[in-house]
Amino acid sequence: MNQKELQEEIRRLLRKKNAILLAHYYERDEVQEIADYRGDSLGLSIEAARTDAETIVFAGVHFMAESASILSPDKTVLLPRQEAGCPLADMVTAPQLAAAREKHPEAKVVTYINSAAIIKAHSDICCTSANALRVVGSLPGAGPILMIPDGNLARYVARQTGRQIIPWEGCCPVHDRLTAAAVRAVRGLHPDAVFAAHPECKGEVLDLADFVGSTTGIIGYAGRPEVTKLIVGTERGVFYELQTRYPTKTFIPAAEDFLCLDMKLTTLEDIHAALIERRYIVKVPEAVRIPARRALDRMLELS
Ligand code: 13P
Ligand code: SF4
């Protein structure tokens, strides 16, 4: 089968099996092209919670499929590549979190959705990059907040809200690699362009940004009439949505190697095999799912 035929066959199988394909904006173009829904982490969670399809095929990484299983426990959730993970999510373990809670017993725990289900289960509330400011703003009082596992996001939220935030020292290795010097160099080449950055980037990079937001936020910013040339400070997969929506605008990567290899693992062949062989099923056990759901629901109520 050539690519077009494979895409059509996947669409046929999705219909036949009452399944939907959800794809993160960082996935391969040919996967995003046939998805029922493309989105950022927040949008994908909302979609996973409200779909009435029997099966959710998740073109994303493991924590996203877990979130879909937490929110839609009666559905079959398939992750076509079992090893598609998120290094940031792996930067906090349950024993580490328990130790941090003991050290800061008065702190509320705000957990980025890029985390394992067991971590969400031990958290007060979740957030994504799209709603982190709103989530932190919703917490009453002025007490300390332990934000895990992304330190860059935590420091950004602390600066924006003035809240007392204890950052975890994790980071997204893809976003954290971008430096202010690299951004200045690209800006030098394109002095007429504006720069948008994802809050997983370092503070020194965010300081240079005209706009900071999640992938959906950046796509929305790109749609503003005054934005005609944009340096994009996030993973390159987002170019598919940017160029589809705004074909007359110019988009420039902040770095040529701005790629998340985990997000690029899932191919059309993997999705096809996942549908035929019902693999790989991601199912969160009830003992973890119920408390994890509470933390996700608190977030979704604010979205
Ligand atoms: P958003 O989808 O929230 O923009 O996050 C980016 C990301 O790194 C997802 O893994
Ligand atoms: Fe994880 Fe970063 Fe890849 Fe997102 S881009 S999945 S945060 S490693």
Domain boundaries in the chain? 3-84+263-286, 89-171+292-300, 178-253
Q: Quick check: do 3-84+263-286 and 89-171+292-300 share a fold?
A: yes
Residue 231 Cα to ligand 1 midpoint, Å, equals 18
Q: Please work out whether the CB of residue 197 comes within 6 Å of at least one atom of ligand 1.
A: no
Q: Please work out whether the CB of residue 260 comes within 6 Å of at least one atom of ligand 2.
A: yes
Residue with tokens 């400011």: 133
For 209-225, the DSSP string reads: -SEE--HHHHHHHHTST
pLDDT of residue 33: 98
8 Å CB contact between 152 and 176: yes
Q: What is the CATH number of domain 178-253?
A: 3.40.50.10800
Q: Please work out whether the CB of residue 129 comes within 6 Å of at least one atom of ligand 1.
A: yes
Q: Please work out whether the CB of residue 136 comes within 6 Å of at least one atom of ligand 2.
A: no
Q: Please work out whether the CB of residue 69 comes within 6 Å of at least one atom of ligand 1.
A: no
State the amino acid at position 190 in one-letter form.
H
Ligand 2 pocket: which of 175, 176, 202 to mutate (most atoms <8 Å of CB)? 175
Q: Please work out whether the CB of residue 88 comes within 6 Å of at least one atom of ligand 1.
A: no
Residue 60 Cα to ligand 2 midpoint, Å, equals 10
The ligand whose atoms approach the alpha carbon of 62 most closely is 2
For the domain made up of 89-171+292-300, give the CATH fold: Rossmann fold (3.40.50)
Residue 63 Cα to ligand 2 midpoint, Å, equals 10
pLDDT, one tens digit for every residue, the chain (303 residues): 999 999 999 999 999 999 999 999 999 999 999 999 999 999 999 999 999 999 999 999 999 999 999 999 999 999 999 999 999 999 999 999 999 999 999 999 999 999 999 999 999 999 999 999 999 999 998 999 999 999 999 999 999 999 999 999 999 999 999 999 999 999 999 999 999 999 999 999 999 999 999 999 999 999 999 999 999 999 999 999 999 999 999 999 999 999 999 999 999 999 999 999 999 999 999 999 999 999 999 999 998
Residues 6+ apart with CB under 8 A from 197: 178, 183, 205, 206, 208, 209, 211, 212, 233, 234, 254
pLDDT of residue 201: 98
Nearest CA to ligand 2 atom 2: 172
| Cα distance between residue 146 and residue 134, in whole Å | 16
Q: Residue 212 has which token pair? A: 């900071």
| Cα distance between residue 68 and residue 58, in whole Å | 8
Looking at ligand 2, which atom is closest to the CA of residue 200? 7
For the domain made up of 3-84+263-286, give the CATH fold: Rossmann fold (3.40.50)
Q: Please work out whether the CB of residue 242 comes within 6 Å of at least one atom of ligand 1.
A: no
What φ, ψ does residue 248 adopt, rounded to 5°? -95, -5
Q: Please work out whether the CB of residue 201 comes within 6 Å of at least one atom of ligand 1.
A: no
Nearest CA to ligand 1 atom 9: 41
pLDDT of residue 303: 81
Ligand 1 pocket: which of 129, 171, 177, 240 to mutate (most atoms <8 Å of CB)? 129
Q: Nearest-CA neighbor of 26 among 73, 117, 88, 77?
A: 88
pLDDT of residue 225: 98
Q: Please work out whether the CB of residue 91 comes within 6 Å of at least one atom of ligand 2.
A: no
Residue 161 Cα to ligand 1 midpoint, Å, equals 21
Residue 140 Cα to ligand 2 midpoint, Å, equals 30
Residue 100 Cα to ligand 1 midpoint, Å, equals 25
